Amino acid sequence: MTVLRTRGVESEAPLPFAALHRLLRPVLDRLDDIAAPQAEALRAAFGEEAGGAGGAGDRHLVYLATLNLLSEVGSDHPVLGIVDDAHWLDDASAAALLFVARRLEGEPVALIFAIREDERGAFDAPDLTTLTLGGVNAATAAELIADQAADLAANQAAAPIAASVLAELVDVTDGNPLGLLELSGALTPAQLAGEQRLPARLPLTERVERAFLDRYRKLDSSAQTVLLVAAADDSGDPATVARAAAALGAPEQAFDGAEESGLLGVSEEGIVLRHPLVRSAIYGAATSSRRRQAHRALADALSGTVHEDRRAWHLAASVDGPDPDVVTALDETAERASRRGGHEAAAAAWTRAAELTLDSHARAQRLLAAAAANLAAGRHLDTELLARAALVDADDPLLRADLLQLQGQVEWNTRSLDDGYRIVCQAATTAAPHDPARARILAMLAAALASFGARSADAPDPATIVEAPAPDAAPDQVVAGHLLDGFTAVIRDDWAAAATALRRAWDTPLPPSTPPLLHANLAIATMHLGDDERAIRLHDRQLQHARDAGAINMIEHALTRGVVFRIATGAWSEAASAAQEALLMDRNLGLHELAAFPLAELAVIAALRGDPSAPQHLHDLDAELEQRPAHGATLGLVRGLHHWAAARQLDVTPATALHHLQQIDLPVARWLTALDRIETAVRADRPDLARTWLDELTSFAEGTDMAWAWATVHHARAVVGDGDAEENFTKALEWHAQSPRLPARARTQLALGEHLRRHRRRTDARVPLREALDTFESLGAGFWADRARQELRASGETARRGANLVASDLTPQESQIAALVRGGLSNKDVAARLYISPRTVDFHLRNVYTKLGITSRTELAALAHDPT
Amino acid sequence: MMHNTPRTFVGTVVFRLADPPSAEVGEPIERHVGALPGVSSCDFDEAAGLLVVTADAPVERADVLALLDHLGCRTTR
């Protein structure tokens, strides 16, 4: 078995991945066995390589590298990773190790974390199996104490211990072996024998600390200096501690005294304090000026070494007020950490640098950098605290605009879309008089939020915040201007203006340097017109960039947005696969707040197909929304998809379905569901509603001239009995021929076939019915295919039997893996895509084979449909 | 860093209070923290459970935390 060890160190500076580095150091020679981008990310995280282009700055690649490295090492011998004092791990290491611990399925790898019960720390993992260690019993306690007494017999007479004292020691320490030894070691023979009273009761930690401190105080002052420096040090490097102690007047021999006390040992691993409580006891007993001296001496001892980050943190602890040199050192530390993907460490260093900066503008800039680093680390609350602190100081309007943008982003991501929108409007208004170009981008962002449902009585109309760009302005400004016009027209339901402006934005060529925010909004704008082909192209491009860069949030964003359009065009297998991938990613990476959107998409796909699993998908979505109510920028879409899926369950009455469909308010979702809404209103005997919704859709079609919209208008006219039905269906099919929305086309073909069959034109009916059946079968839409087949039979055609779909009871992870393997991906590629290890892929794949009764990838690839 | 590693600051630091105290407790918090040498202003935002402390001369973070502890308020990381 390979045993790897690390521990959290309380005094450790916020160095990203320091504890992880210690754990993996013995096996880093195996890094070449894992995928190159992951190996590169891990090397960059450990500071062995500059974080270059690509995904080196993405922490999830570091996590995945850790998992796969341990998995590789485990392929030789089982691996046991021991993480002591996990409550003191640096944040980045804790996050990486928890990520690994949660996905060790099928791996010959085990991780054990030891945590002190009374220590609150960053290590929060209630989901891991917990073993609470009880204490030893009185008999064992007596043995332990006797052993220690024998060890010390040379310099301390072994004293007999009274039963009552033993019982009390076991009681106050809960049988904690260290507590027993330290307390009994600190008692006088008379106290042990029960002849003198024991000291007053104290909590165990404090008692043990006091016992250590008693020993410390008996030492001469130079040995005490060595121990204080060792307590303030976090490197364990004897040379560093010796240099620092010497600078404080402790000669080399002082080490001997410190070692003889048993509080400190020097081994191959360097300087080791007897116990973490030695550190807290000695450090805590020193005055703050003594502590500062120790840190200053350590910083000086590290000067000129590679330990620049440690040095910066010691310097920061050594000053009693603002100091430009210390601030410079911390800035550099923050920048290094940021390049390595250590966002928490970068945030900590910039925060500390700000606290030591006298100039208020420079201070606010550092707080902005710290807040942005926290946002990159997904720490929304800390982002907000720092942005708020910075806003107290920041006078510069552009700096304030940046801070407000961050605050707004936290708000719309985690809480209220409306408040987030109001704050972004404020950012745009603040920037407008000073930098119209910056203000225009912010106003565009605000308008985009409003076009997805954000409203605020306190916010100005984004269109009025800044003037239109000059005709000769830079292309990104021209595009921002068009997008702003387009989004604000959407808010006014002015579809002609929206279509004109958005098309101008899409048609304007942009240089490669264009900021991602603009590209993201160009892509999202396609949703308003239902411009599916452009939407899929732009989101796929975004997805490719995001995958290349390993940018998790962007991958999730591009995947889930792309699904909406694939639902419309009927690329339902791809849509389900992408939604499933996004969902697994959200779950595997702990991004639970994003999970409702892909769940809603899966529920809609299952409902549209009339799949037997549709009620289960809807139930999963309901359960998710109960736990985490929909919020933020996807609120309107999630709500719309949720009601759509509920309305399209097979067993609902028209009245219930209508009740759901009436609650869809976001225009994007209204257009997606337009035909269902109008059909349901007619069936529920609400022709008035059907008419209103048809008028709404007609004005959209007139404004945008989108082929799918006109097709739907004509189909719906037939449904509400407006004019000749056959003529309407035929016109609808003419428009459908120009639209990529296959399911809508097949529904019109089915409706036309039904109409003709009812009018006894059975031969004419068969043509559209056959086309509809072909489409529904290729979409895997079982319910619709059955309907088309019934109609065909009624029209006198002996319908083919449907393709044999076999449900095989795969778990979502298994069916996702099966689909990706069928798509030609290797196990390694599947693993990288799903943030699991190749061995776990193999483990699931073997289950898939068993459940499907097959034995190879070739057989899996030869299946007619993706197994579910 | 240890929890008691020296950490002086100037400018504004926002503390998040666990179990945010009521408005009546807010006034003495503002008064006591505001009286620390170096602290130029101290505002308690009851709705958000935040204490906004601004210093124009160096203030030791531990002194603020000790004072809050004395007043029965815990801060969260």
Contact A13/B57, CB-based, under 8 Å? no
Contact A354/B11, CB-based, under 8 Å? yes
Q: Name the token pair of A181.
A: 């030894």
Judged by a CB distance cut-off of 8 A, whether residue B52 touches chain A is yes
Which chain A residues have a beta carbon less than 8 Å from that of B8? 319-321, 355-356
Q: Which of A10, A120, A385 sits opposite B14 (nearest CB)?
A: A385
* CA of B58 vs chain A CAs: smallest distance (Å): 5
Task: Please name the residues in contact with A606: beta carbons below 8 A apart, sequence gap of 6 or more.
Answer: A613, A614, A616, A617, A618, A645
Q: Lowest-confidence range among A494-503, A582-591, A670-679?
A: A582-591
Contact B6/A291, CB-based, under 8 Å? yes
CA distance to A352, A841, B55, per residue, from B11 (Å): 11, 52, 5
| C-alpha Rg value of chain B to the nearest Å | 12
Which chain A residues have a beta carbon less than 8 Å from that of B77? 120, 122
The per-residue pLDDT for range A69-85, each reduced to its tens digit, is 999 999 889 999 999 98
Provide the pLDDT for residue A53. 43
Provide the pLDDT for residue A549. 65
3-class SS of residue A54:
coil
* CA of B50 vs chain A CAs: smallest distance (Å): 9
**Model confidence at A19: pLDDT above 80:** yes
**Model confidence at A55: pLDDT above 50:** no
Class of domain A812-862: mainly alpha
- Interface probe for A, chosen from B14, B42, B44 (most Cβ of A below 10 Å), is B14
CA–CA dist A845, A781 (Å, integer): 27
Instruction: Determine the average pLDDT of the residues in A466-478.
Output: 93
CB atoms within 10 A of CB A671: 25
Judged by a CB distance cut-off of 8 A, whether residue A286 touches chain B is no
**Helix A59-74 with A838-852: angle, nearest 10 deg:** 70
Contact A313/B10, CB-based, under 8 Å? no
Judged by a CB distance cut-off of 8 A, whether residue A282 touches chain B is no
Instruction: Determine the average pLDDT of the residues in B14-38.
Output: 85
3-class SS of residue A146:
helix
Give the residue extent of every domain in chain B: 8-76
Q: Which of A122, A316, A355 sits opposite B13 (nearest CB)?
A: A355
Contact by Cβ (8 Å): A423, A454:
no
Judged by a CB distance cut-off of 8 A, whether residue B72 touches chain A is no
Which chain A residues have a beta carbon less than 8 Å from that of B12? 389-390, 392-393
* CA of A395 vs chain B CAs: smallest distance (Å): 13
pLDDT averaged over every residue in chain A? 88
Percentage of residues in chain A with pLDDT exceeding 90? 56
Instruction: Determine the average pLDDT of the residues in A164-187.
Output: 80
Provide the pLDDT for residue A62. 87
Query: Nearest residue on chain B to A363, judged by CA atoms?
Result: B11
Instruction: Determine the average pLDDT of the residues in A519-534.
Output: 94
Which chain A residues have a beta carbon less than 8 Å from that of B2? 10-11, 279-280, 283-284
Judged by a CB distance cut-off of 8 A, whether residue B18 touches chain A is no
**Model confidence at A759: pLDDT above 50:** yes
Contact A385/B57, CB-based, under 8 Å? no
Judged by a CB distance cut-off of 8 A, whether residue A87 touches chain B is no
Instruction: Determine the average pLDDT of the residues in A485-506.
Output: 96
Contact by Cβ (8 Å): A405, A421:
no
Q: Name the token pair of A552.
A: 């998790």
Contact B13/A389, CB-based, under 8 Å? yes
Contact B4/A360, CB-based, under 8 Å? no
**Model confidence at A804: pLDDT above 60:** no
CA–CA dist A86, A84 (Å, integer): 5
Higher-confidence residue of A262 and A732: namely A732
Which chain B residues have a beta carbon less than 8 Å from that of A284? 2, 4
Contact A295/B52, CB-based, under 8 Å? no
Residue A178: pLDDT band (50, 70, 90) is confident
Residue A157: pLDDT band (50, 70, 90) is low
Contact by Cβ (8 Å): A698, A496:
no
Contact A358/B60, CB-based, under 8 Å? no
Query: Nearest residue on chain A to B58, judged by CA atoms?
Result: A321
Judged by a CB distance cut-off of 8 A, whether residue A40 touches chain B is no
CA distance to A428, A789, A791, A859, per residue, from A442 (Å): 5, 53, 54, 53
Judged by a CB distance cut-off of 8 A, whether residue A703 touches chain B is no
Residue A806: pLDDT band (50, 70, 90) is very low
- Interface probe for A, chosen from B9, B50, B60, B65 (most Cβ of A below 10 Å), is B9
Give the residue extent of every domain in chain A: 2-113, 215-318, 812-862
Q: Which of A14, A317, A363 sits opposite B11 (nearest CB)?
A: A363
Judged by a CB distance cut-off of 8 A, whether residue A393 touches chain B is yes
Residue A670: pLDDT band (50, 70, 90) is very high
Which chain A residues have a beta carbon less than 8 Å from that of B14? 385-386, 388-389
Q: Which of A284, A292, A389 sits opposite B14 (nearest CB)?
A: A389
Provide the pLDDT for residue A134. 81
Query: What is the ipTM score, two decimals?
Result: 0.95
Sheet holding A79-84, edge to edge: A2-7, A79-84, A109-113
Provide the pLDDT for residue A52. 47
Provide the pLDDT for residue A50. 58
Judged by a CB distance cut-off of 8 A, whether residue A292 touches chain B is yes
Higher-confidence residue of A122 and A280: namely A280
CB atoms within 10 A of CB A163: 10
Residue A54: pLDDT band (50, 70, 90) is very low
Query: Nearest residue on chain B to A349, judged by CA atoms?
Result: B1
Contact by Cβ (8 Å): A674, A716:
yes
Contact B10/A355, CB-based, under 8 Å? yes
Provide the pLDDT for residue A585. 78
Which chain B residues have a beta carbon less than 8 Å from that of A354? 11
Percentage of residues in chain B with pLDDT exceeding 90? 53
The per-residue pLDDT for range A834-843, each reduced to its tens digit, is 777 888 888 8
Task: Please name the residues in contact with A64: beta carbons below 8 A apart, sequence gap of 6 or more.
Answer: A38, A832, A835, A837
**Model confidence at A798: pLDDT above 90:** no
Identify the CA nearest to A780 among candidates A575, A560, A564, A621. Answer: A575
**Model confidence at B23: pLDDT above 70:** no
What DSSP state is assigned to residue A26? G
Task: Please name the residues in contact with A81: beta carbons below 8 A apart, sequence gap of 6 or more.
Answer: A3, A4, A5, A6, A23, A70, A97, A109, A110, A111, A112
CATH topology of domain B8-76: Alpha-Beta Plaits (3.30.70)
